[in-house]
Amino acid sequence: MEHHTRVPIEPLSATRPVKQHSHTHYYVRRVRGSLTNRFVKLICAIFLSILFVVGLLLFIIWISLRPHRPRFHIKSFSIPGLNQATGVQNAQVSFDVTARNPNQNIGIYYDAMDATVFYEDKSIGQTPLLFPFYQPKKNTTWIHGELSGATLTADSAKWQSFIDELSKGTVVFRLDLKSRIRFKVSNWWDSKNHRMHANCQITVGQDGQILPTSKDKRCPVYFS
């Protein structure tokens, strides 16, 4: 007779708790991982938002406190008697310029200002203009100057050059305004001194008066 050995089979219900326990751990890990990722993303978003707001505020402050150079415009310029050969004997140069402080929150301190008139890059006269003064924000200062006598260094040869060029229709001069300035922000900060130059190119006609093309023209400003 054949003998058969029976192998005991564990009931299926005995293995089910193991699978359920494994699945439970899997889903718990997924939930924890998802919560961790969300938390990290939230922290990063908050940090980037704060960084953006701080950067924007610093940019706005920098824009509002960044000094702008003063703006100069030539209003009038004349050399009466320019078309006369003997004009140098009684020559006189007169001009008017406006200086504008365009800054919203910044004032400008000017040291003494000098003016020099050039013809063909050669000085024909120099004169002091203003004593040291303070220019408030959004303020315009009117500057008047005259050169005659000792302040006018144009000799007969230069005056003849004026007349020769004038015979062609116009004469070009350059007015250079020079000063040392510093910017004042509120009551707690002053900038260092800057040597400022404003260069005004001026064309006059045969009557020695500024032409309309040069009047109210903005003068380039640079620091040295």
As a whole number of angstroms, the distance between CA 103 and CA 139 comes to 9
Name the more confident of 12 and 170. Answer: 170
The answer to whether residues 217 and 184 belong to one domain is yes
Task: Summarize pLDDT for 85-142 with one digit per residue, the tens.
Answer: 556 667 789 999 999 999 988 899 999 999 999 998 889 889 999 889 999 999 999 9
Mean pLDDT across 59-83: 80
Res 224: pLDDT: 81
- Residue 91 falls within a domain, yes or no? yes
The answer to whether residues 105 and 154 belong to one domain is yes
- Residue 6 falls within a domain, yes or no? no
Amino acid at 121: D
Look-up of token digits 């116009």: 170
As a whole number of angstroms, the distance between CA 30 and CA 223 comes to 65
Closest C-alpha to 202, from 92, 58, 97, 68 = 97
- Domain range for 94 is 71-223
CATH, residue 113: 2.60.40
The answer to whether residues 53 and 99 belong to one domain is no
The answer to whether residues 98 and 199 belong to one domain is yes
Instruction: State which H helix or E strand residue 73 sits in.
Output: strand 71-78
Assess contact for 107 and 176: CB atoms under 8 A: no
- Residue 2 falls within a domain, yes or no? no
The two three-digit tokens of residue 192, written as one number: 């260092």
Q: Tell me how far the alpha carbon of residue 93 is from its chain's centroid.
A: 33
- Residue 3 falls within a domain, yes or no? no
Burial 37-51 (b: 16+ CB within 10 A, else e): eeeeeeeeeeeeeee
**pLDDT of 13 over the 60 cut:** no
* 146 phi and psi angles, rounded to 5 deg: -140, 140
The answer to whether residues 32 and 59 belong to one domain is yes
Q: How many domains does the chain have?
A: 2
The answer to whether residues 117 and 205 belong to one domain is yes
- Residue 36 falls within a domain, yes or no? yes
The two three-digit tokens of residue 141, written as one number: 């200062």
The answer to whether residues 110 and 201 belong to one domain is yes
- Residue 53 falls within a domain, yes or no? yes
Amino acid at 106: I
Q: pTM of the entire structure?
A: 0.69
- DSSP-assigned beta bridge partners for residue 123: 118
Task: Summarize pLDDT for 19-58 with one digit per residue, the tens.
Answer: 555 666 656 666 666 767 777 788 888 888 888 887 776 6
Choosing from 65, 86, 101, the residue where a domain stops is: 65
As a whole number of angstroms, the distance between CA 138 and CA 13 comes to 90
Choosing from 65, 98, 124, the residue where a domain stops is: 65
The answer to whether residues 58 and 85 belong to one domain is no
The answer to whether residues 27 and 114 belong to one domain is no
